[in-house]
Chain A
Amino acid sequence: MSIQSEARGPPSGSRGPYWFGLFWPAPSVSWQMAFFVAPLCLLVAITFWKVANFQLSADFTTANWVSMYSAGYFWDAFLYTLFLAAVTTVLISIIAFPCAYALAFKVSPATRRLGVFFLLTPFFTSFIVRVYSWQVILSNDGILNSGFGAVGLGPFNMLNNSFSTIVGFFTLAFPLVILLHLLSLSNVDRSIIEAAHNLRCGRVMTVFLIIVPAARVGLTLAACFAFLLSFGEYLSPSLLGGSRPPTLSVLLVDTVKSGNHWPKASVIAITMIVTLTLILFAAVKFAYHKSPGADRD
């Protein structure tokens, strides 16, 4: 046995540290088992159950999978949800980065603290209140259209479409993504930036060749959060997007509302979970992969 592998096992002659090492992770592992793994297993099981007279009963039928996966509207909702989440992720990442960059490198520590404070304040208000506020702002008789009307423009239809849905997604994810960007940019080693400048690398090139690769893990995880939050969000597509066309989350709620069909809703939920898992795996692989030649030094 190698020295490395010995180091992972319990030390010989004393069992104390080994049990000590198991004790501390136990609550979080138990929590995950009880409130994630077990419900997930139940969710998978429910996809094979049936509903009769609005009552759920245990069974083993693949009818729910066949019914949902053969429905055109399910795939329409799937692709639309994927599209909205992808567009939101790209837009948020592009817009959030300069904000986080400025906060990380261009402003004084006091201004940075103030910026972080303002980025946290939206979370003090319930998300549903913020979504309803957007209705007041975006509606035909709303604040924005009143402003446009004053200068002879509009009214512009800004509710019940993809635009308003993405506005809702931005409201949810944008501050968080800036904060995650800020966190990762703050950890970039300043000496490599100075080295790049000393080697006559321009400011823009330094951002793309030095800072972004150095902060890649954090930036990718921030994008993951933007995608994850947008993909499963319900309030924005229903209250701002008018459920037209429905996203998977809207379809899931509709499926439960119309007939108490938890099994079909579970099929949608499992599809969403699997999709997100695959995308997260791909993102993590991208974030942590070593570029060719990275180990040469």
Chain B
Amino acid sequence: MKNHGNKSNRKGIARRDVLKGGAAVAAAATTSMFLPRYGSAQDGVLNLLAWPGWGHPDTVGPFEAKHGVKVQVKEYAGGEPMLALANSSPPGTFDVILTDAEYVQMLRAGDLIVELDPNDYPFEDYWPNYQRFPLHWDGDTLYSVMVRFGYLGLSYNMEQYTPKQLTSYSALWEEGAAGKVGFFDWYLPSMGCLSLYNGNKSPFDIDEEAFGKLRETMNSLAPQVAGYYSYANTYSSLANGQVWLIPGIGEWLTLGLRKDGVPVNTHIPDEGGIQWTESFSIARGAQSPELANEFIKWMASPEGQVRCALRPGNETGIASKKGWEKLNADHPVEAEWLRMRLDKRNMMDEWNEGKIVIRRLPFQQTIEDWTQAWAEMKSV
């Protein structure tokens, strides 16, 4: 084929090529220059990308002792920061990625996680609705193994509110709540709960008209808001009485505080609540995929599941029914706290009653549309 006007061929390397190459190098350098060096399996390290707290010895200590490795955690707070870290890190930086279910497909689309063999994991021990959790599969291919879940609704100060006063998210707009409403600074669960309040049964799958109404709802609530808090500050703002109501969070936060004597709890209003999940995937290019697989298998086992449920400061529900049984047998008091008693009304009943929807990414708008609406609300 005749090469028309290919300057590169005629003059060697063209200036544009040099500039492009320079820009590409700069882009690569920009995204990776500030990343710390991570250890490898040969160094006795399993690198985990996860929410804060997953490196606690009470949670991963037995695994570390059994395999003679150290679980080293790079923490994030929110799905988007997780995706940013996963995307901008060189292959081999992480062995295991903990993610919320709605981001599994994005990790898969970005070729950042590998296929898993379902036979490796004790799904037969799981509750039926978690044995084949839809967001973790692509057809018959498994990409992620669920370990924990919880519900997001309206967290409140028990000295100021009772569950009867919180049958609707409309409590947020009441006069007594002025300046006492807070938000965990993550658009997805916060906007999801307000979308439920607007009557959207599928709160993340809404058309443009409903999205416009959601923005109006958010902006009308903004004057009531005391602040938008980071992960740690959400705990402190609720604990020190700075805010009394936070929509879009749940027992993952209030249970630990309540155990420490802070009068806070979470209620699911009549409009419904949102389910969050956490699951483990093996990163593409993991330095030790076998060890990563062992880690996930251990976390899915009854022993690992109990430790997942009792993760210090962040106790919550677990996916394995065998894990529930072990928790009830070994830690009945904690099982009561966690509403995971098998002989009483428990978390699974709320799911079965249909009040809970799974948290998803926006369907009909882009993530940027939603984050922009969130930024607008914060500036009102």
Partners in one complex: yes
Question: Quick one: which of A142, A238, A243, A260 contacts B83, CB cutoff 8 A?
Answer: A260
B375→A242 contact, CB < 8 A:
no
Cβ proximity bits A76-100 to B, threshold 8 Å, 1 near / 0 not: 1100000000000000000000000
Residues of B within 8 A of A71 (CB): 372, 375
B110→A245 contact, CB < 8 A:
no
Residues of B within 8 A of A58 (CB): 20, 23-24, 26-27
How far apart are the CA atoms of A134 and B240 in the complex, in Å? Answer: 13
Residues of B within 8 A of A260 (CB): 80-81, 83-84, 87-88
Residues of A within 8 A of B30 (CB): 42, 46, 56, 262
B375→A254 contact, CB < 8 A:
yes
Shortest Cβ distance from A43 into B: residue: B30
B227→A54 contact, CB < 8 A:
no
Shortest distance between the CB of A287 and any CB in chain B (Å): 34
Cβ proximity bits A134-152 to B, threshold 8 Å, 1 near / 0 not: 0110011110000000000
Q: In residues 264-281 of chain A, which contact B (Cβ within 8 Å)?
A: none
How far apart are the CA atoms of A54 and B241 in the complex, in Å? Answer: 37
Residues of B within 8 A of A142 (CB): 240
Q: In residues 221-249 of chain B, which contact A (Cβ within 8 Å)?
A: 225-230, 233, 236-237, 240-242
How far apart are the CA atoms of A100 and B87 in the complex, in Å? Answer: 52
CB of B371 within 8 A of chain A?
A: yes
CB of A203 within 8 A of chain B?
A: no
B378→A73 contact, CB < 8 A:
yes
Residues of A within 8 A of B20 (CB): 58
Most buried by A among B182, B227, B229: B227
Residues of B within 8 A of A239 (CB): 230, 233
CB of B6 within 8 A of chain A?
A: no
Residues of A within 8 A of B88 (CB): 54-56, 260
How far apart are the CA atoms of A58 and B24 in the complex, in Å? Answer: 6
A257→B225 contact, CB < 8 A:
no
Given contacts A54-B83, A72-B379, contact A141 B241 (CB under 8 A): yes
Residues of A within 8 A of B230 (CB): 238-239
How far apart are the CA atoms of A241 and B233 in the complex, in Å? Answer: 11
Cβ proximity bits B338-380 to A, threshold 8 Å, 1 near / 0 not: 0000000000000000000000000000011001101110111
How far apart are the CA atoms of A283 and B296 in the complex, in Å? Answer: 60
Residues of A within 8 A of B87 (CB): 53-55, 260
Cβ proximity bits A227-253 to B, threshold 8 Å, 1 near / 0 not: 000000000001101111110000100
CB of A121 within 8 A of chain B?
A: no
Residues of B within 8 A of A53 (CB): 87, 106, 109-110
CB of B179 within 8 A of chain A?
A: yes
CB of B31 within 8 A of chain A?
A: yes
CB of B78 within 8 A of chain A?
A: yes
A242→B229 contact, CB < 8 A:
yes
CB of A57 within 8 A of chain B?
A: yes
CB of B63 within 8 A of chain A?
A: no
How far apart are the CA atoms of A142 and B240 in the complex, in Å? Answer: 8
Q: In residues 41-61 of chain A, which contact B (Cβ within 8 Å)?
A: 42, 45-46, 49, 53-58
A160→B81 contact, CB < 8 A:
no
How far apart are the CA atoms of A73 and B228 in the complex, in Å? Answer: 15
Shortest distance between the CB of A83 and any CB in chain B (Å): 14
A246→B378 contact, CB < 8 A:
yes
Residues of A within 8 A of B241 (CB): 139-141
Question: Quick one: which of A49, A135, A246, A261 contacts B379, CB cutoff 8 A?
Answer: A246
Residues of A within 8 A of B24 (CB): 58
CB of A12 within 8 A of chain B?
A: no
How far apart are the CA atoms of A139 and B20 in the complex, in Å? Answer: 52
Residues of A within 8 A of B298 (CB): none
How far apart are the CA atoms of A242 and B224 in the complex, in Å? Answer: 13
A257→B81 contact, CB < 8 A:
yes
13 A-B pairs, CB-CB below 8 angstroms?
A54-B86, A56-B31, A71-B372, A73-B379, A77-B379, A238-B233, A239-B233, A244-B226, A244-B227, A246-B375, A254-B378, A259-B80, A260-B80
A residues at B contact (CB < 8 Å): 42, 45-46, 49, 53-58, 71-73, 76-77, 135-136, 139-142, 157, 159-160, 238-239, 241-246, 251, 254, 256-262
Interface pairs A-B: 7 shortest CB-CB: A242-B227, A58-B23, A260-B84, A73-B379, A258-B371, A160-B227, A139-B240
